[in-house]
Copies of this chain bind each other. A is one copy, B any other.
Amino acid sequence: MFEAAELGSKVDKATYAARVPALVTRLLEAQRALRAAQVPVVIIVSGVEGAGKSEVVNRLTEWLDPRGVQVNAFWDETDEERDRPRAWRFWRRLPPRGQVAVFFGSWYTHPIVARAFDQITDAELERALTRIEALERMLTVDGALVVKLWFHMSKKAQAARLKDPRKGRKGEWKLSPLTKKFARRYATFARLSDAAIRATDTQACPWHIIEAEDRRHRDLTAGETVLAVIERRLASPPAAPAVAAAPPAPAPGPTVLDRVDLPACTLTEEEYDEQLLAEQRRLFELTWEARRRRVSSVIVFEGWDAAGKGGAIRRVAAALDARLLRVIPIAAPTDEERAHHYLWRFWRHLPMGGYLTIFDRSWYGRVLVERVEGFARPDEWERAYREITGFEEQLVDHGMVVTKLWLHLSKEEQLARFEERQRTAWKQHKITDEDWRNREKWDAYAQAIHDMVARTSTAAAPWTVVAAEDKRWARVQVVRTVADRLEAAL
Query: CB within 8 Å of B: which residues of A?
Result: 25, 29, 32, 54, 57-58, 60-62, 65-73, 75, 78-80, 102, 104, 170-171, 173-174, 281, 284, 288, 310, 313-314, 317-318, 320-327, 329, 334-336, 352, 360, 426, 429
Complex CA–CA separation, A72 to B232 (angstroms) = 47
Q: Is the CB of B58 within 8 A of A322?
A: yes
Chain B residues in 8 Å Cβ range of A335: 334-336
Q: Which residue in B62, B310, B321, B324 is a CB contact (below 8 Å) of A314?
A: B62
Chain B residues in 8 Å Cβ range of A313: 66-67
Known contacts A78-B80, A288-B174; is-contact A67 B329 (Cβ 8 Å): yes
Q: Which residue in B67, B321, B360 is a CB contact (below 8 Å) of A54?
A: B321
Please give me the 7 A-B residue pairs with the lowest Cβ-Cβ distance, nearest first.
Answer: A73-B323, A67-B329, A61-B322, A71-B322, A66-B317, A66-B327, A57-B322
Cβ of A360 to closest chain B Cβ, rounded Å: 6
Closest B residue to A355 by beta carbon equals B73
Complex CA–CA separation, A334 to B335 (angstroms) = 7
Q: Is the CB of A170 within 8 A of B426?
A: no
Q: Is the interface of A mostly helix, strand, loop or mixed?
A: helix
Cβ of A481 to closest chain B Cβ, rounded Å: 18
Q: Which residue in B67, B170, B317, B318 is a CB contact (below 8 Å) of A327?
A: B67
Q: Is the CB of B67 within 8 A of A360?
A: yes
Q: Is the CB of B323 within 8 A of A57?
A: yes
Known contacts A62-B317, A78-B79; is-contact A322 B102 (Cβ 8 Å): yes
Chain B residues in 8 Å Cβ range of A73: 323-324
Residue of A288, A314, A324 with most chain B CB atoms under a 10 A cut-off: A314
Chain B residues in 8 Å Cβ range of A320: 58
Excluding A71-B322, A79-B80, A104-B322, 14 further A-B contacts by CB distance (< 8 Å) are: A32-B429, A58-B320, A62-B314, A62-B317, A65-B310, A66-B314, A67-B310, A67-B313, A67-B327, A78-B78, A78-B79, A104-B323, A170-B284, A335-B336
Chain B residues in 8 Å Cβ range of A29: 426
Complex CA–CA separation, A25 to B427 (angstroms) = 11
Chain B residues in 8 Å Cβ range of A310: 65, 67
Q: Is the CB of B170 within 8 A of A281?
A: yes
Complex CA–CA separation, A72 to B288 (angstroms) = 16
Chain B residues in 8 Å Cβ range of A284: 170-171
Complex CA–CA separation, A393 to B25 (angstroms) = 41
Chain B residues in 8 Å Cβ range of A80: 78-80
Closest B residue to A62 by beta carbon equals B318
Residue of A67, A313, A318, A426 with most chain B CB atoms under a 10 A cut-off: A67
Closest B residue to A77 by beta carbon equals B79
Q: List 30 A-B contacts (CB under 8 A).
A: A32-B429, A58-B318, A58-B320, A61-B317, A61-B322, A65-B314, A66-B313, A66-B314, A67-B310, A67-B313, A67-B327, A67-B360, A68-B329, A69-B327, A71-B322, A71-B323, A72-B323, A73-B323, A73-B324, A75-B323, A78-B352, A79-B79, A80-B80, A102-B322, A104-B323, A170-B281, A334-B335, A334-B336, A335-B336, A336-B336
Chain B residues in 8 Å Cβ range of A32: 429
Complex CA–CA separation, A80 to B81 (angstroms) = 10
Complex CA–CA separation, A288 to B426 (angstroms) = 62
Chain B residues in 8 Å Cβ range of A336: 334-336
Complex CA–CA separation, A327 to B101 (angstroms) = 12
Residue of A57, A66, A329, A334 with most chain B CB atoms under a 10 A cut-off: A66
Closest B residue to A29 by beta carbon equals B426
Cβ of A351 to closest chain B Cβ, rounded Å: 12
Cβ of A350 to closest chain B Cβ, rounded Å: 14
